[in-house]
Amino acid sequence: MGRIPKVICVVLLTLAIAMPVRTDGQASTVLVVTGSSMPESLYLLWNDEYHKQQPGVQVRYLPEGSLAGATRVLTGMGDFGGGDEPIPEKDLKGSTNKIVELPTVLVGIVVIYNLPGMAGELRLSGPVLANIFLGKITSWNDPSLLKLNPDAKLTALPIQLLHRTAGRGSNYILSDFLSKASPEFLARVGRSASPNWSVGTTAGKADDMLDKVAATPGALGYTELNSAVKASLHMASIRNADGEFVKPSVRSIAAAAKAMTNTVTDNFRISLTNASGKDSYPISSFTWFYIPAVAKDSERGRAVVDYLKWVYTSGEKMAGEQGYPPLPEDLLAKVAVKVATIR
């Protein structure tokens, strides 16, 4: 099934907000959320479980991307949004709605590849990966790749580069890391959910990315850790800020968050990429909820707060069971304080 056209999404969003449903003869509050597709499977599990426990509330999630999640909430559409990057400051200042941004879970963007016949793991550094996405490295036996992988059998196979479409949180997280590694990448491509890609082939959905990498010898792309694990794709180890090559894992993503915990302010707008620490996976990030600080409707606002309280207790436990690294305990305490300010 293709993506739902934006006009239809707006109509569905409006109808979902305006039209209550009935559960066991009782009117039910329907909370509508637009956001990133990256944590969609987890959010759907959360929403189903919450509805079982609170039959009077349904949460409907529309996975239209991080950009759509921010845009909807900034313009007053929907009850809250979701995304994989902090909302740009210029957009926050240009909106009449004050927004609270809360981290939900930790994610890692992994570099996936298809190299037939290669034994062992692929090692990459930020500068080399940036040069691949700049189109300066085009074959797998480039000297810079051979230097990082002296024991690997890298051939002259062309690199078949894949990237996501505009407005995707995975774009932002990867480009944030590459912008820190390469001033040239920052200047030419940029840190954005919609980077100025000049090379490579587009993959629309996350599943498209997985399918194309699996089917294309020489392919290199990126996706969220859990998706790559489920698809049984090869994942590169990435050199971190301490010079260590680190495999993406629940443990190494959690290590990146732990290393940055002391820098977290009460607005949670920090980057976890290239975190210090020998065990830190360098392409790690939060994914966020974007919530109006004051709801237009007080009853719906209370429903949102109750849902958030559940997310940061029972929901976080479910996230761990689904393979997501847990948020650090001291960070959860700060989030709980912030949730209490939402009206």
Number of domains in the chain: 2
Domain that residue 231 falls in: 108-263
343 residues of the chain, pLDDT tens digit each: 334 444 444 444 444 444 444 445 454 899 999 988 888 889 999 999 999 999 999 999 998 888 888 888 898 888 999 998 888 888 888 888 899 999 999 999 999 999 998 878 999 999 999 999 999 999 999 999 999 999 998 999 999 999 999 988 899 999 999 999 999 999 999 999 899 999 999 998 889 999 999 999 999 999 999 999 999 999 999 999 999 999 999 999 999 998 887 777 778 888 999 999 999 999 999 999 999 999 888 889 999 999 999 999 999 999 989 888 878 888 898 999 999 999 8
100 and 123, same domain (yes or no): no
Residue 239 falls inside a structural domain: yes
96 and 116, same domain (yes or no): no
CATH number of the domain enclosing 310: 3.40.190.10
β partners of residue 164: 203
Residue 274 falls inside a structural domain: no
Question: Which uninterrupted H or E stretch holds 124?
Answer: strand 123-124
116 and 257, same domain (yes or no): yes
Three-state secondary structure call for residue 316? helix
What the block records as the tokens of 8 is 């239809």
Residue 12 falls inside a structural domain: yes
Three-state secondary structure call for residue 156? coil
Q: Measure the CA–CA gap between 326 and 316, rounded to whole angstroms.
A: 7
